[in-house]
Structure 1
Amino acid sequence: MSNKASASGPGPGPANDISAHQISLGLKRTETENRPAPMVGSFQPLDRPHRRPMTGLNYSRRQCSVKPLNAEPKRNESIVPLAATMVAPEVVEEVVVEDYEQLAKELENASPLEIMDKALEKFGDDIAIAFSGAEDVALIEYAHLTGRPFRVFSLDTGRLNPETYKFFDTVEKQYGIRIEYMFPDAVEVQGLVRSKGLFSFYEDGHQECCRVRKVRPLRRALKGLRAWITGQRKDQSPGTRSEIPVVQVDPSFEGMEGGIGSLVKWNPMANVEGHDVWNFLRAMNVPVNSLHSQGYISIGCEPCTRPVLPGQHEREGRWWWEDSKAKECGLHKGNIKEENVGKLNGNGNGAGQANGTATIPDIFDNQSVVNLSRTGIENLLKLEDRREPWLVVLYAPWCQFCQGMEGSYVELAEKLAGTGVKVGKFNADGEQKTFAQQELQLGSFPTIIFFPKHSSRPIKYPSEKRDVDSLMTFVNALR
């Protein structure tokens, strides 16, 4: 963009002549000689976020819009003297339209390192890595390996494990960086805690707390960026992340330019499986959160995260008291598609039945497990003096957590065969869900209840430990 007057304008005349144009403006010759030329198109928008100075680093400042925007050339809106507008042509900023759907296809088989390098190359200082303190430290290692400068931010909710805070410090020292922490608004947190208490999310769902402590701070962070990098993988949550691309226009948040489509989201590890991530971390001697050695895989806030057992899915340790629909906190809510709502909220009989393309096979299919109908479970509720106690699992065939405990539950049923304890199952999905919630204490799938021999009210199994030994201890304590 040139700051000089256009060569097509009138050239200087003799020293004693003043052009008719200058006379019409009331300008003297000395004023036109001594006044510095206006810097056309050089102003900085006042609402553009202040960037951190990076001494000695050169970043590409070419503006790239994203495909969903109807990109129109921007006019320079700075106010300049009339004289300058008479001699200078209108300045139009070039807008490059990027097709990120096509780019995602091109990078589908690329390595995380290659994807990371492309992201940092394209966006320079206008992109940052979202770091949660879990295994997405791999993102920082990949960024380090590119040799390019990079930024890292993290959401400090105020309720993280002490081990996570120590891990943040270790990562900063390992890579010589400063993590840009984002904190929740103190007034909002204060209002939530004063009105509902410290642990309201156990009773009314975690969405409100996550919105205050995570989503809104994230929104503020992203308003200062044009792109961000996440550690999402397809195998992390089959219900919500199975179709994430390696790069996409963010469907939920806005970037610094404002408006839907103003932010690009990169997922370099979308196609990487969890065990390969850990192989990479071990091979590169990358520091990891000490909670991983205690059984934690997916790590969030301390009250909402538990270690998982062998055979359990990694996301089962997050918000364990809720249905699988709640396994997102809102940071990646764009992953949840409208057609999957039936599957995620348990209103259908599974993904296949919800869209009419297939039938989800039943589970816990074993001769030692009695398949209870609605009438059968109602009869159990009515009996006050049973001949034998019953252990019943309330399940949905599509639920990955129910599928994960199928082996241990069937093994338990076989061990209890002939002991006087009956083991059953009740499909509490679909039209049976409301009944199960009201009469059988269903909170999420799976729920395990025990009908004692001399009591009409069933007793709910309170633990998330669904191995054979834990379930057997529960039965033995009540029969």
Structure 2
Amino acid sequence: MASATASISSHAIALRDLKAARIGAVRQQVAAAPAAPAVRSQRARAVRPLCAAEPARKPLSASAAAAPVAPVLVEEEASAVPAAVDYEALAQELQGASPLEIMDRALSMFGSEIAIAFSGAEDVALIEYAKLTGRPFRVFSLDTGRLNPETYQLFDKVEKHYGIHIEYMFPEAAEVQELVRNKGLFSFYEDGHQECCRVRKVRPLRRALKGLKAWITGQRKDQSPGTRASIPVVQVDPSFEGLDGGAGSLIKWNPVANVEGKDIWTFLRTMDVPVNTLHAQGYVSIGCEPCTRPVLPGQHEREGRWWWEDATAKECGLHKGNIEKEGQAPKVGVNGNGSAEASAPDIFQSQAVVSLTRPGIENLLKLENRTEPWLTVLYAPWCPYCQAMEASYLELAEKLSGSGVKVAKFRADGEQKPFAQAELQLQSFPTILLFPSRTARPIKYPSEKRDVESLLAFVNSLR
């Protein structure tokens, strides 16, 4: 009897232990249940918005939104970016690739941690290429508060055409208020555009890029030969920091770097996409309204931006890595490596054009009773704006041959530039001066029109 009782007791103990184990397991499951949302929340936070202060939006292209791709795959792609990539080697690998191939590589490597910087025609092309890849993509833009109405209309058209939401970045109100109160609305005409651009564009861009690991721009080599001639299709950003912070934390993609402007426009017309209506009015490169104007025949597209400043430094600061020193254009011509200035072939070569040396133009400055007027262009052979007006200047020289007006040229770059700036009113290349007869001070040609008729009218009005 005692043994039976012991057997029953041991069986009861075993049942009790088994029941306790099951209850413990259920409790563990219940306790672990909230962890799943927490993991998902942590995963969602891994992909940050452009600016932490703004709600995160992940706009997709219309085609990508319809594709059966779960958002989590985008995040997994982003986390799969190699820890160390040789971007110089990658740039060489992609040197001959099409913009579509380059865009696809960029989006596949960085997923939702890369965004397209949107403002103008090249950037509509970028959005179209992104759509054609079939991958999700993001677009952001800087609203400076001083854009043309037509530019805001373009933003709206692009959002509707592609079914996306552009992530807008704005300048800090307090900084804009301080600048305007202290220096007025148009201080950039007097002391340069850098300060205004820094407040309205550069700092908002910096905040945007701190939420990304890479960005995509519409820079082209032929946009500004003075500052953009050497941009690669992909590079470690030399100026800004990305999500992880520190030097080298941001990658910059330039898919259309090797594409000419005319080919961009062929693509835009072929794909029938929205463009800024200002282009039909002669605007080529479009920025803020006070700092942008149409270009004239024979002018380079970048001459419509900050036209009152040195033509070789047409940058606002968004791509300041293109310039060797802050506020100073590199001494380059067409290839960006410093050698073009010395190796560029001379221009304005004609028997009808006198080539002045430094002593020669100094003598012109000293003469108070010249027997004949002199029309002189201050130029640099590597300058694209000088190259653009070469044909009209040579034709003018032929027309004035034998008329009593001497036509000349003076190379004013390099070591001659400080002299030309101090004594010859040089601000940008080319500068055209008329040394009238019987007048000491040379008169600077004030117009941007460089066709033969306009230059001839200037000369005849002062002969």
Normalised to the residue count of structure 2, the TM-score between the two structures is 0.82
The answer on 1:294 being equivalent to 2:308 is: no
- 2:355 is aligned with what amino acid? N
Query: Kindly, what percent of the aligned residue pairs are identical?
Result: 70
The answer on 1:118 being equivalent to 2:105 is: yes
The whole-number CA distance in structure 1 between the counterparts of 2:157 and 2:192 is: 33
Tell whether the 8 Å contact from 1:244 to 1:335 is kept in structure 2 after alignment: yes
The aligned runs of 1:132-143 (5 Å cut-off) are 132-143=119-130
Distance 1:149 1:188, change over 3 A: same
Structure 2 partner of 1:276 = 263
Distance 1:353 1:154, change over 3 A: closer
Among 418, 428, 440, the alignment partner of 1:456 is 440
The answer on 1:378 being equivalent to 2:362 is: yes
Which range moved further: 95-104 or 313-322? 95-104
Structure 1 partner of 2:9 = none
Structure 2 partner of 1:36 = 31
- 2:31 is aligned with what amino acid? P
- How many Å apart are 1:15 and its aligned residue? 7.2
The whole-number CA distance in structure 1 between the counterparts of 2:46 and 2:112 is: 19
Tell whether the 8 Å contact from 2:111 to 2:137 is kept in structure 1 after alignment: yes
How many residues align? The count is 425
- How many Å apart are 1:449 and its aligned residue? 1.3
The answer on 1:360 being equivalent to 2:353 is: no
The whole-number CA distance in structure 2 between the counterparts of 1:334 and 1:452 is: 43
Tell whether the 8 Å contact from 1:59 to 1:125 is kept in structure 2 after alignment: no
SS class of match (2:404): coil
SS class of match (1:326): coil
The whole-number CA distance in structure 2 between the counterparts of 1:360 and 1:384 is: 35
Tell whether the 8 Å contact from 1:232 to 1:267 is kept in structure 2 after alignment: yes
- 1:229 is aligned with what amino acid? I
Cα root mean square deviation, aligned: 3.3
Distance 1:273 1:355, change over 3 A: closer
- How many Å apart are 1:349 and its aligned residue? 9.6
Structure 2 partner of 1:444 = 428
The whole-number CA distance in structure 2 between the counterparts of 1:353 and 1:468 is: 34
Structure 1 partner of 2:418 = 434
Distance 1:64 1:355, change over 3 A: farther
The answer on 1:105 being equivalent to 2:95 is: no
The answer on 1:236 being equivalent to 2:236 is: no
The whole-number CA distance in structure 2 between the counterparts of 1:286 and 1:314 is: 21
Tell whether the 8 Å contact from 1:153 to 1:180 is kept in structure 2 after alignment: yes
Among 198, 210, 217, the alignment partner of 2:204 is 217
The whole-number CA distance in structure 1 between the counterparts of 2:16 and 2:249 is: 53
The whole-number CA distance in structure 2 between the counterparts of 1:186 and 1:381 is: 50
Output one character per residue of 1:435-466: Cα deviation in whole Å (capped at 9) or x when no partner. 22122111111111112223212111111111
The whole-number CA distance in structure 2 between the counterparts of 1:130 and 1:158 is: 17
- How many Å apart are 1:186 and its aligned residue? 1.7
- 1:288 is aligned with what amino acid? V
Tell whether the 8 Å contact from 1:349 to 1:430 is kept in structure 2 after alignment: no
Distance 1:459 1:53, change over 3 A: closer
Tell whether the 8 Å contact from 2:230 to 2:336 is kept in structure 1 after alignment: no
Which range moved further: 47-56 or 124-133? 47-56
The aligned runs of 1:19-418 (5 Å cut-off) are 36-37=31-32, 42=39, 44=42, 49=52, 51-52=56-57, 57-62=71-76, 63-64=78-79, 96-337=83-324, 344=329, 355=339, 359-418=343-402
SS class of match (2:447): coil
Tell whether the 8 Å contact from 1:447 to 1:460 is kept in structure 2 after alignment: yes
Distance 1:33 1:16, change over 3 A: farther
SS class of match (2:408): strand
- 1:385 is aligned with what amino acid? N
SS class of match (1:312): coil
Distance 1:65 1:429, change over 3 A: farther
Structure 2 partner of 1:72 = none
Tell whether the 8 Å contact from 1:65 to 1:262 is kept in structure 2 after alignment: no
Which range moved further: 282-291 or 230-239? 230-239
Distance 1:325 1:242, change over 3 A: same
The whole-number CA distance in structure 2 between the counterparts of 1:149 and 1:350 is: 36
Structure 1 partner of 2:405 = 421
- 2:415 is aligned with what amino acid? E
The whole-number CA distance in structure 2 between the counterparts of 1:412 and 1:182 is: 49
The whole-number CA distance in structure 2 between the counterparts of 1:46 and 1:58 is: 11
- 2:383 is aligned with what amino acid? C
Tell whether the 8 Å contact from 1:116 to 1:143 is kept in structure 2 after alignment: yes
Tell whether the 8 Å contact from 1:324 to 1:345 is kept in structure 2 after alignment: no
Tell whether the 8 Å contact from 2:376 to 2:433 is kept in structure 1 after alignment: yes
- How many Å apart are 1:235 and its aligned residue? 2.0
Tell whether the 8 Å contact from 2:75 to 2:112 is kept in structure 1 after alignment: no
The whole-number CA distance in structure 1 between the counterparts of 2:237 and 2:350 is: 45
Q: Which runs of 5+ in 1 are unaligned?
A: 1-12, 18-28, 67-94
Tell whether the 8 Å contact from 2:230 to 2:337 is kept in structure 1 after alignment: no
Normalised to the residue count of structure 1, the TM-score between the two structures is 0.79
The whole-number CA distance in structure 2 between the counterparts of 1:278 and 1:47 is: 34
- 1:193 is aligned with what amino acid? V
The whole-number CA distance in structure 2 between the counterparts of 1:283 and 1:320 is: 32
Which range moved further: 41-50 or 388-397? 41-50
- How many Å apart are 1:265 and its aligned residue? 1.4
Distance 1:369 1:208, change over 3 A: same
- 1:216 is aligned with what amino acid? R
The whole-number CA distance in structure 1 between the counterparts of 2:222 and 2:209 is: 25
Which range moved further: 223-232 or 369-378? 369-378
SS class of match (1:234): coil
SS class of match (2:441): coil
SS class of match (2:232): coil
Distance 1:97 1:416, change over 3 A: same
SS class of match (2:75): coil
- How many Å apart are 1:251 and its aligned residue? 1.6
Tell whether the 8 Å contact from 1:133 to 1:168 is kept in structure 2 after alignment: no
Output one character per residue of 1:231-273: Cα deviation in whole Å (capped at 9) or x when no partner. 1122222232222222222221111221222212111112222
